Structure 1
Amino acid sequence: MSERIPSRDVTPDPAVGQHPPVSVQQNMYASRQHIYVREIKGLFQRLRRSANWVLMLLFFGMPWLTWGGRPAVWFDLPAREFHILGGTFYPQEFMLLSWLLIICAFGLFLITVFAGRVWCGYTCPQSVWTFLYIWVEHRLEGTRNRRIKLDRQPFSVDKAWRKTAKHIVWLMIALATGVTFVGYFTPIRELVVALPTLEAHGWAYFWVGFFVVFTYLNAGWLREQVCIYMCPYARFQSVMFDRDTLIVSYDTARGEPRGSRKRDADPKAQGLGDCIDCELCVQVCPTGIDIRDGLQYECISCAACIDACDSVMDRMGYPRGLVRYTTERALEGGKTHILRPRLAGYLAALLVMMGLFAWALGERVPLEFDLERDRNSLYQQTRDGRISNVYTLNVRNLDDREHIYRIYVDGPEGLTLVGNDTLRIGANSSRIAAIELTLDPEQIDMPSKTIEVRLVSQSDASISQTRESRFIGQIRR
């Protein structure tokens, strides 16, 4: 039988039956044991840190960028306008957001099937901010052993200032996070002036405070608890894994039996594998697991254990890769299949959704209007005997420049627009206007007729929209 990736066994003891006895207490939550994460250097940690700094730079820097005289990214909830890099979107365009979320979902599925939880280890906001807080901890409290010693020693001036400085920096990061987040909904240049002068809106203070507490607790205190107990992704990730999914795994056949030895000793002569049981892979893990116990849902694929183990292998003169990104099939001695049906399916769905989304954005017209017939009266008769219907236009200019729209009507022969046939609307503005349409009674052979109202920009004929309604009149007998 082929050897599979070892995993932690949580199956009830067969000796007591299929299910555990009623008297057996099963704890669904373990008391938190503080994890002293050791700092490690290596290829994957350089990649992770680079990705983390880029993501934080984008998060903290984007609200300060301007585009066309306003923030490049600004979700203006009171005005129900969402400004993103020069484009203005409205709640009526919710379908675009739905497509974008579906694209993100299929992208996450694709990445998970191909490379496991690399999203968690490299780009998840929880991991990004946790690693930032751990980085501050290393700078102010020292190495792992020094932090353990610091926590065990009695209160002192050195301990007090280090702990105080760490929590102050944590709170400053949390404050910057809260202000930046609110800065996506309120122009941040105005927000940073209004907050200290107590001129900001009450909700701004609430949400800044909420994210200060949220960030401080999640990244500073809860950390791995969020990944283990709160994040749903950790629970359903195994459904998307297959035998060709890249995972961080320990090569049991090569590493066992583990044991300490001198650097120049021959492990084979001592009956040992390549693992020297230094537990460095455990010390660098942000969730505190031992990767040698097999595949575990707590693993976030940050590859810190790979860099740690490779550094030990280099010092011992052994080949790298005792802990590595690999697949279940490769550990069994087979060949990993990169392109496989499930991966191809997710990739095809992702490409289709991205294509549709790009097409929708390309075909998007920066004009939206609603046409509603006046319901207070079915119709009126003018002095010259014509039948009149009144309609309300609610027009929204989604462009970042002013437009003058010409109104065209189409319907039964002789349908006429009364009054001005143009509308001037400023950039990213809306306007409500009433129009009157008249028709010769001789043309009314049915109680209602289909009509169309079309708006066309005078400066750009490609910007146009058409709406359909009904013209109501009385049939002459």
Structure 2
Amino acid sequence: MSLSQGKRARTALRTAVALALLAAFYLLPWLRLDGQPILLLDLSARRFHLFGYSLQPENALPLFWLVTAAAALLCLVTVMCGRLWCSHVCPQTVLTRVFRTLDQLTAFDGPAARFGPALRHVLWAAIALWTGISFVGYFSPIGGLIHDLTHFSLGMWEGFWIVFYALATWANVVYLHEQVCSHLCPYSRVQHLITDARTPTVRYIAARGEPRGPRPHGGPSVLHRSRGLLDPVTANDYVFRAAHPAIAGALPKFNPEHLGDCTDCGACLQACPIRLDIRNGHSSHCIECGACEDACDEAMVLQHFPEGLIRRMAPEPDGGQPPPALRVKPLLFTAAMLVALVLTIVTAGAPY
């Protein structure tokens, strides 16, 4: 059975974004324009080199407004599209995907299997060390940094920060993964303040999937059966009973023709990095990485069902009432972004 179309598209997009971000991060410290670094926050000289411009701290007000505009843009994208930052752009997510790719590449068979974990950690330690060097290269010219490193004449503070960020990169990805996103990241904590009732999230379509349960291969999907989709109240009741068997009791046995499209294979739960069951409803801890979407689409393909039982979509309106047509938060974030951009232009031309 071939890979699902949805998974191919999502994988291609994530791979392209990750490669672009990694290339930008590791290459920017090396790029120069008119003899100056293209991006260098030179703290010792108190000068910022930004794409051909040199700024002193006292005339860096345009940079502040530019960062403010970028933050407003992030909020706008979040309220309109969901947590795309977390699922595609966040350095923690990108580096975690790199590590898991190494995990797959070093999963050897046979006698070589015992060397896989050691090789994986050696490679990841090398990547983490180069990440620390590249990060410090944004604050100290990276050419001189590499020269001092290879000649064992590195300064104490530069050496400290290289080791610190290398260890942080190694430990965060190897041991913490998305726990950082769930419990430490401030962006995760303010999601409820940024989003509104129409913000898309990764959701399980209970009306199609419930009641869940295994069944023989070969039957049609509910989308092609007379049963059709369940009403929201009945679907949510099945979800609650499946999530709380101690309270609601075990689900009865259903004939295959009465089952929904969820085969209760557990693939979505196993694919989730923090073991959230998306079928139990949306959680604020979910970073919408799409792993459950991919796993569910594969299960649907194997069952010869249409994909999309778990997908990114806007929440269902409560009580059947459509949400207001006017969305206040996107307007506010757009206005804040435009004001910040105008202030960037104005302050950039102001005398100091």
Corresponding residue number in structure 2 for 1:188: 142
Does structure 1 residue 101 correspond to structure 2 residue 67? yes
Does structure 1 residue 318 correspond to structure 2 residue 305? yes
Cα distance in 1 for partners of 2:128, 2:324 equals 43
Q: Report the CA distance between 1:42 and its aligned residue.
A: 2.6
User: Is this contact kept in 2: 1:249–1:325, CA < 8 A?
Assistant: yes
Q: Report the CA distance between 1:127 and its aligned residue.
A: 0.9
Instruction: Flag the structure with higher strand content.
Output: 1
- Alpha carbons of 1:111 and 1:338: their partners in 2 closer, same or farther (altered >3 Å)? farther
Q: Report the CA distance between 1:323 and its aligned residue.
A: 0.8
Q: Report the CA distance between 1:335 and its aligned residue.
A: 6.0
Cα distance in 1 for partners of 2:176, 2:149 equals 28
User: Is this contact kept in 2: 1:174–1:212, CA < 8 A?
Assistant: yes
Q: What are the residue-to-residue correspondences of 1:119-268 with 2, within 5 Å?
A: 119-141=85-107, 158-266=112-220
Does structure 1 residue 351 correspond to structure 2 residue 305? no
Deviations 1:100-146 (A, max 9, x none): 3322322222122222222111111111111111111111126xxx9
Corresponding residue number in structure 2 for 1:385: none
Corresponding residue number in structure 1 for 2:239: none
Deviations 1:243-271 (A, max 9, x none): 21110000111101111112212566622
Q: Alignment partner of 2:316: what SS?
A: helix
Q: Alignment partner of 1:46: what SS?
A: helix
Q: What are the residue-to-residue correspondences of 1:450-469 with 2, within 5 Å?
A: none
Deviations 1:344-369 (A, max 9, x none): 221122122123213433x156xx5x
Q: Alignment partner of 1:42: what SS?
A: helix
User: Is this contact kept in 1: 2:26–2:131, CA < 8 A?
Assistant: yes
Structure 2 residues not aligned, in runs of 5+: 1-5, 222-226, 228-254
Instruction: Flag the structure with higher helix content.
Output: 2
- Alpha carbons of 1:194 and 1:339: their partners in 2 closer, same or farther (altered >3 Å)? farther
* Higher-RCO chain (CA-CA 8 Å, sequence separation at least 6): 2
Deviations 1:439-461 (A, max 9, x none): xxxxxxxxxxxxxxxxxxxxxxx
Percent sequence identity over aligned pairs? 37
Cα distance in 2 for partners of 1:192, 1:65 equals 15
2:274 is matched with which residue: 281, 287, 299? Answer: 287
User: Is this contact kept in 1: 2:79–2:330, CA < 8 A?
Assistant: yes
Corresponding residue number in structure 2 for 1:442: none
- Alpha carbons of 1:307 and 1:288: their partners in 2 closer, same or farther (altered >3 Å)? same
Size of the aligned set, in residue pairs, is: 314
Corresponding residue number in structure 1 for 2:42: 76
Give the CA RMSD over aligned residues.
Answer: 2.4
User: Is this contact kept in 2: 1:43–1:307, CA < 8 A?
Assistant: no
Q: Which has the larger radius of gyration?
A: 1
Q: Alignment partner of 1:325: what SS?
A: strand
- TM norm structure 2: 0.82
